[in-house]
């Protein structure tokens, strides 16, 4: 009976094995450094059920193998010439840390049916020519693998690709070409680098970069064709020479992801780029949007354009929720393009703004916009400021052409520093408690259609002269105020085209602004690693003081870094200066503005100025600057590598050339600068040694006081 029972158990086990869906992979494990095609390189296991004969080396053509293939690289293995993962096959390759597999020519995953390649481990995979994934292929890369491809890496058709881990992939050229429904995911610190050519994403592909993953293209990143969808999130980064987005796709950045484009960004052909949740983009030359392209900024996102912004052919740019746009040079809009700022968004345009042919600049909510250069609105373009928005134009405003309008409504505020001209049938419309201050002259031409309409408790203050042609129109209605402060102006009685209702005011003589600026400049001083701010005023009235405000890499987050007393009352030019000796060690674009405060507490802002500085480089953890420094000035001691400080106690010792020393301890890296500055401020000129000890680390700095 026992033998019969044992026999039945064996038969039952065999039946279970034959019907089991789980098939162990035929495994090839390297046992020494060697060649892929040499049998002595491999130990073979798990061959049961994998057919006969069993290959003595891992197959290089895996079409329709009877069971999966697993290759374990524990040594340095050279060859084969080519490796093809073919029809209906599952292949895995694991490369141990410090080991390498080199394929002399191509690695190809292709063919019909389902194919799968899994790459894992922490070693190196070297491919002599191309790595191609095509068809219904599925490729997964995990671990800490480094993949070096001499020529091209291409993922195409309906393949699926995912890398997850500290994966580093490099190739001369990388192409992700959907031709259907390709899925491409790069997760958890995966990096892709093109060494000599472009990175292309195109044609119906879905791409996700997340978890600090990155693209580093030696040349261009091109995303185009048949509505690709590309997402960067979780502090992912892109670095490329040029970025081109075209043909109806979607690209989004979020969660602190960043773009750095060393030349131009071009968005065209109804492609949409969206930045949200602290995403940032820096374009070191031009940003161009054309042919229905869209750029959407929201939730503290930020775009910096270091040259020109050009928009044409129904392109759109929208900002909301504390997002910001900074353009260092010219901005132009043409052919029904538009910029819209909502909420607390901020726009800073560093030079001229030109709007033509039915374009729109729409300012809503509490948004703020500042333009440094001349503003030209023409050809039916429309400048609108509503809902408590703020507009500052630091130069001239020209409105020309029939259909061209400048509209202010619902508590909007605007200041124009230069002269304002309205002509060619252009219209200005102010209403609903909006306020406009014109610090220069106001001129209307002689066109019958040129018109200025003030109504509904709006206020206009003209500090220069007001002149108008006989045929242009000025209408002041519904408790509006139109005041000329000091200059000449025509009376409503002498000009039949000046229409003033009984209740509004149209007259000369009005309040004087507390300060009239003559100049404001910011200069970087590399030798002391500081910024010198200098400004002058022509006149001052009840001027209490100036607060110096600074922002780094965007104009959305300002901090007050100092204060300079004003002159109170002055009818002669007065010069001021402030030296910012505490520049951020990370470098970047540093913005400055002056907040002028009068005795009543009211305030206004100056123009914005900017400097550019490089990050301070050092192989040490601590850095001192400026160094050398002048006697009587402060010195900064900053921690360049915060990761080296783990909340330890910091011991500071400062010694002079006579061996005299002072010591102090602190638990805050931020206090080191103030402690050292207090010690050394009144000390004589000479050489000092600063010794800093924290945890088991120690560093010495030589400080020179002139």
pLDDT digits 0-9 by tens, 167-216: 999 999 999 998 656 899 999 999 999 999 999 998 888 999 999 999 99
Per-residue pLDDT at 631 exceeds 80: no
Predicted confidence band at 368 (pLDDT cuts at 50, 70, 90)?
very high
Beta-bridged to residue 28, according to DSSP, are 44, 71
In whole angstroms, give the CA distance from residue 169 to residue 190.
8
Distances (CA, A) of 634 to 46, 214, 373, 545, 582: 72, 40, 36, 23, 9
Phi, psi (deg, nearest 5) at residue 16: -60, -40
Per-residue pLDDT at 8 exceeds 50: no
pLDDT of residue 504: 67
Q: Which residue from 196, 193, 194, 197 is spatially nearest to 214, judged by alpha carbons?
A: 193
> Averaged over 431-446, what is the pLDDT?
93
- Catalogue the E-assigned strands of 1-130: 26-30, 34-35, 42-45, 69-73, 77-78, 83-85, 90-95, 100-103, 107-109, 115-121, 124-127
For residues 491 and 382, the model is more confident at 382
Torsion 45-48-53-59 (CA) sign: negative
Tokens of 270: 């109804």
DSSP string, 226-288: S--EEEE-SS-EEEES-EEE-SS-EEEE-TT-EEEESS-EEEETT-EEEE-TT-EEEESS-EE
**Burial state string for 88-123 with b = 16 or more CB within 10 A and e = fewer than 16:** ebbbbbbbbeebbbbbebbbbbbbeeebbbbbbbbb
Per-residue pLDDT at 49 exceeds 90: no
Tokens of 272: 């949409």
Per-residue pLDDT at 706 exceeds 90: no
> Averaged over 296-323, what is the pLDDT?
96
DSSP state of 322: T
For residues 615 and 140, the model is more confident at 140
Does this model's pTM top 0.85? My answer is no
Per-residue pLDDT at 630 exceeds 60: yes
pLDDT of residue 401: 96
Per-residue pLDDT at 85 exceeds 80: yes
* Total residues found in the chain within this entry: 706
- Least-confidence region, from 30-44, 347-361, 578-592, 613-627: 613-627
Beta-bridged to residue 505, according to DSSP, are 481
Torsion 212-215-218-219 (CA) sign: negative
Place of tokens 């970047």: 588
pLDDT of residue 11: 34
Mean per-residue pLDDT of the chain: 88
> Averaged over 443-464, what is the pLDDT?
92
In whole angstroms, give the CA distance from residue 331 to residue 309.
5
pLDDT of residue 113: 66
Per-residue pLDDT at 122 exceeds 80: yes
pLDDT of residue 480: 87
In whole angstroms, give the CA distance from residue 180 to residue 170.
25
Contact 456, 462 (CB under 8 A): no
For residues 547 and 569, the model is more confident at 547
Per-residue pLDDT at 450 exceeds 70: yes
> Averaged over 362-383, what is the pLDDT?
96
In this predicted model, what pLDDT tens digit does every residue of 237-262 receive, in sequence order?
999 999 999 998 899 999 999 999 99
């Amino acid at each position: 009976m026992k033998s019969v029972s044992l026999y039945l158990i064996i038969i039952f086990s065999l039946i279970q094995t034959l019907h089991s869906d789980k098939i162990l992979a035929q495994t090839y494990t390297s046992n020494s450094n060697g060649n892929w095609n040499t049998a002595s390189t491999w130990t073979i296991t798990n061959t049961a059920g994998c057919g006969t004969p069993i290959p003595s080396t891992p197959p290089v053509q895996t079409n329709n193998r009877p069971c999966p293939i697993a290759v374990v690289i524990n040594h340095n293995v050279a060859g084969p010439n080519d490796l093809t993962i073919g029809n209906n096959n599952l292949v895995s390759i694991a490369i141990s840390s410090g080991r390498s597999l080199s394929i002399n020519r191509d690695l190809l995953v292709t063919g019909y049916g389902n194919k799968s390649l899994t790459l894992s481990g922490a070693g190196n995979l070297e491919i002599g020519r191309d790595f191609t994934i095509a068809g219904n292929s599925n490729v997964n890369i995990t671990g800490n693998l480094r993949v070096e491809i001499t020529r091209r890496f291409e993922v195409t058709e309906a393949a699926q690709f995912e890398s997850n881990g500290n994966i580093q992939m490099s190739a001369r050229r990388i192409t992700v070409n959907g031709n259907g429904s390709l899925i491409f995911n790069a997760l958890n610190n995966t990096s892709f680098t093109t060494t000599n050519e472009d990175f292309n994403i195109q044609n119906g592909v879905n791409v996700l970069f997340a978890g600090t993953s990155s693209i580093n293209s030696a040349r261009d990143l091109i995303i185009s064709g048949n509505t690709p969808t590309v997402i960067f999130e979780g502090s992912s980064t892109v670095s490329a020479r040029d970025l081109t987005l075209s043909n109806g796709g979607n690209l989004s950045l979020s969660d602190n992801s960043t773009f750095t484009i060393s030349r131009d960004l071009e968005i065209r052909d109804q492609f949409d780029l969206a930045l949200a949740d602290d995403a940032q983009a820096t374009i070191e030359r031009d940003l161009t949007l054309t042919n229905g392209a869209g750029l959407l900024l929201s939730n503290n996102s930020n775009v910096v354009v270091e040259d020109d912004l050009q928009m044409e052919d129904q392109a759109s740019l929208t900002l909301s929720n504390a997002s910001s746009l900074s353009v260092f040079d010219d901005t132009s809009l043409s052919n029904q393009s538009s910029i819209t700022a909502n909420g607390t968004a901020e726009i800073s345009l560093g030079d001229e703004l030109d709007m033509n042919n039915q374009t729109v600049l729409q300012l809503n909510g509490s948004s703020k916009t500042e333009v440094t250069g001349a503003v030209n609105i023409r050809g039916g373009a429309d400048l609108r400021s509503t809902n408590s928005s703020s507009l500052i134009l630091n130069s001239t405003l020209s409105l020309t052409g029939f259909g061209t309008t400048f509209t202010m409504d619902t508590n909007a505020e605007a200041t124009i520093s230069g002269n304002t001209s309205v002509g060619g049938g252009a219209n200005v419309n102010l209403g609903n408690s909006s306020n406009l201050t014109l610090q220069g002259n106001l001129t209307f031409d002689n066109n019958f259609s040129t018109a200025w309409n003030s109504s509904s408790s709006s206020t206009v203050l003209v500090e220069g002269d007001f002149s108008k042609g006989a045929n242009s129109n000025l209408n002041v209605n519904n408790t509006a105020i139109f005041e000329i402060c000091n200059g000449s102006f025509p009376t409503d009685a002498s000009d039949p085209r000046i229409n003033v209702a009984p209740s509004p005011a149209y007259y000369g003589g009005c309040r004087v602004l507390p300060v009239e600026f003559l100049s404001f400049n910011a200069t970087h001083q590399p030798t002391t690693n500081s910024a010198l701010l200098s400004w002058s005023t022509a006149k001052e009235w009840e001027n209490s003081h100036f607060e110096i405000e600074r922002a780094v890499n965007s104009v959305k987050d300002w901090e007050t870094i100092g204060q300079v007393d004003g002159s109170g009352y002055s009818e002669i030019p007065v010069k001021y200066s402030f030296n910012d000796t505490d520049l951020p060690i990370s470098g970047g674009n540093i913005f400055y503005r002056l907040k002028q405060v009068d005795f009543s507490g009211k305030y206004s802002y100056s123009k914005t100025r900017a400097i550019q500085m490089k990050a301070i480089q050092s192989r040490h953890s601590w850095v001192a600057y400026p160094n050398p420094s002048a006697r009587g000035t402060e010195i900064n001691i900053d921690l360049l590598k915060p990761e080296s400080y783990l909340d330890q106690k910091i011991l500071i010792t400062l010694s002079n050339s006579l061996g005299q020393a002072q010591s102090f301890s602190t638990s805050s890296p931020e206090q080191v600068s103030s402690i050292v500055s207090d010690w050394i401020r009144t000390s004589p000129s000479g050489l000092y040694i600063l010794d800093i000890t924290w945890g088991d680390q120690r560093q010495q700095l030589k400080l020179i006081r002139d």
